[in-house]
Structure 1
Amino acid sequence: MRPERIAREMRDIISGIISEEIKDPRIGFVTVTRVEVTPDIRNAKVYFSSLGGKEEKESAAEGLNSASGYIRKSLSEKMRFKFTPELLFRLDESAEYSIHLNQIFDKIHKEKEKKDEPA
């Protein structure tokens, strides 16, 4: 299997494990957004988004990294890897960055409209 295909399958399985099997209250509502697997499939970065403020998101990251051994074991049972990758959970800030950029573009657009209005 190619790393991209493995990453997609891992994303789906890890999402299920987190929502159905992990009971850590620090994790809360988490969505696995993407998984990046190294070419040798020894390591995987699991990106997630989470509701809440900065503290809640950091707490979710701690909870997920704390549960990574369990998640890895469960993943190996579901995917039957020769080697199950080490999992490293990272907060995916791309959605927040996208929102921030859209706010900047909206502000620029409004300022341009003001300039273009007849005096």
Structure 2
Amino acid sequence: MSHRPERLAEAVKKEMSDLLLNELKDPRVGFATITGVDVSGDLKYAKIYVSVLGNHEQRHNTMLALKKAQGFIRTELGRRIRLRHVPEISFHLDESLDHGVRVMELLDEVKGKDV
């Protein structure tokens, strides 16, 4: 088995984080963080997981802005990573932080009833 997909995923995550921080000037992209990248075994597709701080509307607007900038982002990734074929990228909202916060709230609620 090759470790190339994992290495590419880490490179995409690093460069994507830098792009969000320094290159994307769209005001709709709020407090977004790249939480993970999955690259297919054939290196043709990359799923980029994004966590967005804010309400539902802000999350929706951030995801729309990222989808609109998809071509620019893919071009920049190709320049920065130096691949013959840059993977097709897709953005997915990562709601794992919300689930974690909800679990903590439920645990606190249960803890409060036991005391």
Same fold, TM exceeding 0.5?
Answer: yes
Separation (CA, whole Å) in 1 of partners of 2:54 and 2:100: 17
Does residue 80 of structure 1 match 2:92? no
Aligned CA RMSD, in angstroms, stands at 1.1
Comparing 22-31 and 65-74, the one that deviates more: 22-31
Separation (CA, whole Å) in 1 of partners of 2:28 and 2:109: 36
Task: Give the percent of matched residue pairs that are identical in Structure 1 and Structure 2.
Answer: 35
SS of alignment partner, residue 45 of structure 1? strand
Does residue 67 of structure 1 match 2:41? no
The one-letter code matched in structure 2 to 1:19 is L
Counterparts in 2 of 1:1-16, with a 5 A limit?
2-16=4-18
Counterparts in 2 of 1:1-119, with a 5 A limit?
2-113=4-115
CA-CA distance at 1:91 after TM superposition: 1.2
Runs of 4+ in 1 over 3 A off after TM superposition: none
- Map Cα deviations across residues 3-28 of structure 1 (whole Å, 9 max, x no partner): 11211111010111122111111112
Q: Structure 1: state its 5+ residue gaps.
A: 114-119
CA-CA distance at 1:29 after TM superposition: 2.2
Separation (CA, whole Å) in 2 of partners of 1:108 and 1:29: 31
The one-letter code matched in structure 2 to 1:36 is D
Separation (CA, whole Å) in 2 of partners of 1:47 and 1:83: 21
Question: Which protein is bigger by CA-based radius of gyration?
Answer: 1
Q: Structure 2: state its 5+ residue gaps.
A: none
Separation (CA, whole Å) in 2 of partners of 1:28 and 1:99: 20
Q: How many residues align?
A: 113
The one-letter code matched in structure 2 to 1:111 is K
CA-CA distance at 1:105 after TM superposition: 1.1
